[in-house]
């Protein structure tokens, strides 16, 4: 089963303690799509400018990403520059130019309309809703958002949440959206807004998933060095949705396995700058780390 | 198999957002001993003043804690007062009176000398070493410490670590002792100091265990309300060592199960002020939450 993702494609300039990357391929939809492409075919709805390099279009295509929904528009691709603090959990935005992304209106190609697995990466909830409006009968809808929309477009976001199956956000966003500091109470409130499941990303501490009658928590894969956290959350979502689409198993056990795959992909992404580690990744490396991850968390394991 | 613990017995006055407790029974050795007593007989080496209430001696005895090593000395029992910040991860010490604990010299009774499972709770590393000197041939030695000793008695502490099997400390202490911010690199350095295993407590994010050739990570049990975090770390250690002594299984699988039992006990402790929840705890409640904990972390679970 293929996956449809809508979101941003950007150039990122990143600085961390370990070095810097200049105008590297980035954006939530890009990280999601490349991560998911290791599991299932991906269809992308996004917009880039005429400056977007052919090599990168080629890279995405070779990863099995269908670009029929990628608008190439007059103007420049959006770009972002940021600098991480020493502890990598905080960053400052140094520059943000939305460029062609400023008036992006997602158009879902006819060939995408039967999409079953859909991920609404972090963009204006109005645009996320527009995508759902153009789909026939999506089977499983995942959704991300950020503080900007929670504060500025709460009404639209809450309306959207009624149409979402799995909300995937980080702990800070969960707190802001729910008004609850405690993660259990926050998740309960978020579930009451509509989604059947809430996945809360806790950075280096892993992920915790809530449904009405279950809780599942996994640590993050422990790494000796985090070079660049950019894209970790979107890649998590890509691995998670990718594994769901590959297995077609949306039972509790299927979702738990998908969360581990998402965590595995995220653990690779942060090992190098930007997309670099994803470009060199293979299914064999993913499966090997999946097995390591299972042994990391198995109470009866050795 | 019984467990020997050396450490502090204090009166704690605690203030959190949820209320306060005045001069409640506390101290690292107390939390450890009461937690461990649900798994195995406990022997305690500590000192209290003449003001220590008979009811509390009676409570400890009824929990199967051998008090032959508890010195009752002229003067007052040590006392501490603290106030937690809103996020419960930080606290301010409002008052600290060591009283009879100030010149505590641990005396191990002859009846304790054959101790196999030994826990050196957070006290001066010189006193921790004195306890080991008085034992015949301990089988498994666990050890805690704190910033005060890491900064002020590093030489003595490092010497002690060569005699320790399992170091149980929190993430801040691990960072300070190792000089490494990253948890994997910190653990590697700590292992090089002597202990065969390092358990790093991460508060609401759980525990991560390192040995030379394995890593095991568990989340904390998610709670809707944390009333008072006092004693959580010491109770974790008590449940952990308690389960090891009960099962006699110090294989990797045995240690992992013990870590889950420690996490279970800690999750109860924080649900009420001071020792209150531990006083009302039963083996049935512990086993029930152990099963919930397994389901919380089981990748193949439902």
Residue-wise pLDDT tens digits, B55-68: 999 999 999 999 99
Cβ B301–A216 below 8 Å, yes or no? yes
Tens-digit pLDDT profile for residues B255-292: 999 999 999 999 999 999 999 999 999 999 999 999 99
> Which of B259, B229, B232 is CA-nearest to residue B244?
B259
d(C-alpha B253, C-alpha B257), whole Å: 6
Mean local confidence (pLDDT), A286-292: 98
Contact indicator for B261, A256 with CB cutoff of 8 Å: no
For the cut 80, the answer to whether the pLDDT of residue A302 exceeds it is: no
Q: Report the DSSP beta bridge partners of residue B158.
A: none
pTM: 0.95
Check: CB of residue A215 under 8 Å from CB of residue A209: yes
The residue of chain B with its CA nearest to that of A299 is B256
Please check whether residue A302 lies inside any domain of the structure.
Answer: no
Supply the range of the domain harboring residue A189: 3-297
Tokens 């269809």 found at: A43
Mean of the per-residue pLDDT values for chain B? 96
Q: Which of A88, A171, A184, A216 to mutate to test the interface with B (most CBs of B within 10 A)?
A: A216
Distance CA B113, CA A191 (A): 56
B120 inside 8 A of chain A by CB? no
Strands of chain A, DSSP E: 3-6, 10-16, 19-26, 42-49, 65-73, 78-84, 91-97, 117-120, 140-143, 166-170, 197-201, 207-210, 215-218
Residue of A nearest to B261 (CA): A299
Q: ipTM score here? A: 0.93
From the list A215, A253, A300, which residue is nearest B222 (CB)? Answer: A215
Residue B245 lies in a domain: yes
CA pair distance A216, A252, nearest whole angstrom: 9
B281 falls within a domain:
yes
Q: Which of A183, A224, A300 sits opposite B222 (nearest CB)?
A: A183
Confirm or reject contact between A223 and chain B (CB < 8 A).
yes
Q: List, in order, residues 6 or more apart from B272 with CB less than 8 Å away.
A: B227, B228
Query: Cβ B302–A215 below 8 Å, yes or no?
Result: no
Q: Supply the CATH number for residue A255's domain.
A: 3.40.1190.20
CB atoms B256 and A296 under 8 Å: no
Q: Are B136 and B114 in contact (CB under 8 A)?
A: yes
CB-CB contact of B120 with B144 (8 Å): yes
Average pLDDT, integer, range A47-71: 98
Residue B88, pLDDT > 90, answer no
Least Cα distance to A188 among B159, B223, B93, B10 occurs for B223
Distance from CA of B266 to the nearest CA of A (A): 17
Q: Which of the four pLDDT bands, split at 50, 70 and 90, describes residue B220?
A: very high
User: Is B289 a domain residue?
Assistant: yes
Closest CA to A299 of B158, B217, B220: B217
Could you tell me the two tokens for B215? 């890593």
Residue of A nearest to B215 (CA): A296
Does the distance separating the beta carbons of B219 and A206 come in below 8 Å?
yes
Quote the CA–CA distance of A189 and A77 in Å, as a whole number.
37
pLDDT band of residue B86 (cuts 50, 70, 90) is: confident
B38 within a domain of the structure (yes/no): yes
Chain A contact for B257, CB < 8 A?
A: yes
Residue among A158, A155, A215, A156 nearest A183 (CA): A215
Q: Which of A202, A299, A301 to mutate to test the interface with B (most CBs of B within 10 A)?
A: A299
Give the count of beta carbons closer than 10 Å to the beta carbon of residue A86.
Answer: 9
B182 to chain A, any CB pair closer than 8 A? The answer is yes
**Using CA atoms, how far apart are residues B138 and A251, in angstroms rounded to an integer?**
48
CA A55 to chain centre: 23
In a domain, B302, yes or no: no
Q: Please give the tally of structural domains in chain B.
A: 1
Say whether B253 and A301 touch across the interface (CB within 8 A): yes
Strands B78-84 and B214-218 turn out to be unpaired
């Amino acid at each position: 089963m293929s996956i449809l993702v809508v979101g941003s494609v950007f150039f990122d300039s990143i600085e961390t303690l370990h070095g810097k990357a200049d105008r590297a391929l980035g954006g939530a939809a890009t990280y999601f799509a490349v991560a998911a492409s290791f599991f299932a075919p991906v269809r992308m709805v996004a917009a880039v400018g005429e400056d977007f390099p052919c090599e990168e279009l080629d890279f995405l295509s070779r990863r099995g990403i269908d670009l029929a929904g990628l608008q190439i528009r007059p103007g420049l691709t959006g770009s972002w520059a940021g600098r991480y603090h020493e502890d990598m959990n905080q960053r400052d935005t140094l520059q943000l130019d939305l460029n062609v992304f400023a008036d992006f209106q997602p158009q879902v190609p006819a060939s995408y309309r039967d999409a079953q697995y859909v991920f609404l990466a972090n963009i204006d909830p109005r645009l996320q809703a527009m995508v759902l409006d153009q789909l026939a009968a999506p089977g499983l809808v995942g959704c991300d958002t950020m503080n900007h929309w929670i504060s500025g477009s709460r009404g639209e976001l809450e309306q959207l949440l009624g149409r979402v199956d799995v909300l995937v956000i980080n702990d800070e966003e969960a707190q802001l959206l729910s008004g609850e500091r405690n993660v259990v109470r926050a998740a309960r409130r978020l579930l009451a807004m509509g989604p059947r499941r809430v996945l809360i990303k806790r950075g280096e501490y892993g992920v915790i998933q809530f449904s009405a009658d279950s809780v599942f928590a996994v640590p993050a894969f422990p790494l000796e060095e985090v070079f660049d956290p950019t894209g970790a959350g979107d890649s998590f979502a890509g691995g998670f949705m990718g594994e769901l689409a590959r297995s077609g198993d949306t039972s509790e056990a299927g979702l738990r396995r998908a969360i581990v795959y998402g965590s595995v992909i995220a653990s690779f992404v942060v090992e190098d700058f930007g997309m670099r580690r994803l470009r060199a990744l293979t299914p064999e490396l993913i499966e090997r780390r999946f097995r390591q991850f299972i042994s990391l968390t198995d109470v009866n394991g050795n």
